[in-house]
Amino acid sequence: MIAEGDEGNYPKDSLRLKMRQITNQAELINSFEMVDVDGKDLPEYSAGSHIDFYFHDGRIRQYSLCGDPGDRKRYLIAVLRDLRGTGGSIDLHERLHTQRNVFVGKPRNNFPVHKSAKHHLMIAGGIGVTPMLSMIYELQKTGDNFTLHYCTKSIEHTAFQSELADLVKKGRVVFHHDQGIPGDGLDIEALLKDHETGTHLYYCGPPGFMGAVEKFSSHWPEDTVHYEYFGAPAKPAQIKEGVEGASDGFQIKIASTGATYAVPESKTIIDVLTENGIKIEMSCNTGLCKTCACKYLEGDVDHRDVVLSKKEQEEYITPCVSRAKSGLLVLDL
């Protein structure tokens, strides 16, 4: 169900916006333009940011902002109608109409532009182009060097063609169409074979695409590779042979109180914390957004998120999906 009016249990700090325009951008892809109901400026955001979209029935979905970050009058998202998904995209495509009120969260950014880069190499798979569109707006304003390789099934599946037309002519944006056969599209291995000093890589797209780019960029310096998942990868099996505490669950200890709670195999850390009255802000519940990340002080973590860097994982855990390899985790709560 889509939000309408002021009904529904939405976060207190959510933004009530009006759906001003819905535009078909490509096959199965619509863009949705939202404005403040009173015409006020919207909270600012940086390139690569996303918003939470709140549904009336309690569902939350994350969508990248793909407009100009300098435009405070509107938020623009684009959504692929996914029949295999969990229903959010179908609701947006089939039940959302202009002039309707919707509720969204304030922008957050886990996929920013790294301004120290001399060249920004972006590779987008399908709807994964959306965060890179806002990056392009920002990079054009700052005069930074960039190239976007935009991979789709066909020209009919390629969104925002008119917005990108001039950049295509200049060679800054390159379309790659594989007609549904991945091997006939962009040669990712060849593109990423050599890393030039100062070049940063950004990529976003469907699971198979993400795996290919990860594989062929594995020799790049870690701090030059940046990515964002649109959906959680398949979760690993919770029972790990030979790993202490993995098969029978584990315990968490709250550092501030000393309280200890059991986390059975069937529940997440977030589940157990909530049951015991310990509230942590959360959003995606799939290890994609970093909202629930908290510090841990002791223990060996089985990290299952796709958003924390390796350095961040040395201090933080995403309790919505990650678990313990050791029998006890001490959380800095």
Q: Give the CATH number of the domain where residue 63 resides.
A: 2.40.30.10
For residue range 294-318, what is the model confidence (pLDDT) as tens digits?
999 999 999 998 888 888 899 999 9
Domain annotation covers residue 112: no
Task: Measure the CA–CA gap between 173 and 146, rounded to whole angstroms.
Answer: 9
Does residue 201 carry a pLDDT above 70?
Answer: yes
**Shared-domain flag, residues 84 and 138:** no
pLDDT (0 to 100) of residue 3: 55
User: Alpha-carbon distance 114 to 135, whole Å?
Assistant: 10
Count structural domains, the chain. 3
Note the pLDDT of residue 80: 96
Q: Any alpha helices (H) in the chain, and if so which ranges?
A: 88-95, 130-142, 161-169, 188-191, 207-216, 269-275, 310-313
Does 130 fall in a domain?
A: yes
Mean pLDDT to the nearest integer, 84-107: 90
More confident residue, 37 or 311: 37
Task: Give the pLDDT score at 243.
Answer: 41
**Domain-located, residue 322:** yes
Under the banding of pLDDT at 50, 70 and 90, the label for residue 196 is: very high
The mean predicted confidence, pLDDT, of the chain is 90
Q: What is the pLDDT of residue 252?
A: 93
**What would the mean pLDDT of 202-219 be, rounded to a whole number?**
95
Identify whether 306 is part of a domain.
yes
Residue among 188, 205, 73 nearest 131 (CA): 205
Domain membership flag for residue 110: no
pLDDT on residue 313 = 92
How would you classify the pairing of strands 60-64 and 119-125? unpaired
Query: Is pLDDT above 70 for 232?
Result: no
The answer, yes or no, to whether residue 233 has pLDDT greater than 70, is: no
Residues whose CB falls within 8 Å of the CB of residue 140, separated by 6 or more in sequence, listed in order: none
Say whether both 26 and 86 belong to one domain: yes
Same domain, yes or no: 225 and 261:
no
Domain that holds residue 53: 15-104
Question: For tokens 């939000």, what's the residue?
Answer: 3
pLDDT reading at 261 higher than 90: yes
- Is 285 domain-assigned? yes
Position 284 in a domain? yes
d(CA 81, CA 93): 7
Identify the pLDDT of residue 242: 38
Choose the final residue of a domain: 78, 104, 130.
104
Alpha-carbon gap, residue 307 to 292, rounded angstroms: 11
Of 229, 259, 275, the last residue of a domain is 229
Predicted confidence (pLDDT) at residue 9 exceeds the cutoff of 80: no
The confidence score (pLDDT) of residue 222 equals 92
**187 and 285 belong to one structural domain:** no
Q: How many CB atoms lie within 10 A of CB 220?
A: 16
Same domain for 259 and 190: no
Phi-psi region of 242 (alpha: psi -120 to 50; beta: other; left: phi over 0): left
**279 and 211, same structural domain?**
no
pLDDT at 10: 82
Report percent pLDDT > 90 for the chain. 77
Better pLDDT: 198 or 83: 198
Among 171, 195, 229, which residue terminates a domain? 229
Q: What's the whole-model pTM score?
A: 0.84
Contacts of 253-256 spanning 24+ positions with Cβ under 8 A: 253/298, 253/328, 253/329, 253/330, 253/331, 254/278, 254/331, 254/333, 255/297, 255/330, 255/331, 255/332, 255/333, 256/333
The arrangement of strands across the sheet holding 316-317 comes to 260-263, 250-254, 328-331, 294-298, 316-317
Q: Give the angle subtended at the CA of 133 by the CAs of 283 and 125, to the nearest 5°.
A: 75
- pLDDT band with cut points at 50, 70 and 90 for residue 7: low
178 and 82 assigned to the same domain: no
CATH number of the domain that 216 lies in?
3.40.50.80
Polymer length in residues for the chain: 333
User: What CATH number is associated with residue 316?
Assistant: 3.10.20.30
Confidence check: pLDDT of 70 > 50: yes
pLDDT for position 6:
54
Whether residue 34 is found in the same domain as residue 99: yes
3-state SS, residue 150:
strand
pLDDT the model gives residue 236 = 46
Q: Are residues 262 and 208 in the same domain?
A: no
User: In terms of domains, do 152 and 224 share one?
Assistant: yes
Percent of the chain with pLDDT over 70: 92
Residue 237 predicted with pLDDT over 60 = no
If asked whether residues 215 and 160 sit together in one domain, one would say: yes
Assess whether 39 and 65 both reside in one domain. yes
Between CA 198 and CA 331, with CA 315 as vertex, the angle to 5 degrees is 160
Say if 240 falls within a structural domain. Answer: no
Read off the pLDDT of each residue in 195-202 and give the average, rounded to a whole number.
Answer: 97
**CA separation, residue 218 to residues 43, 107, 203 (Å):** 36, 30, 13
Structure tokens at 133: 């569109």
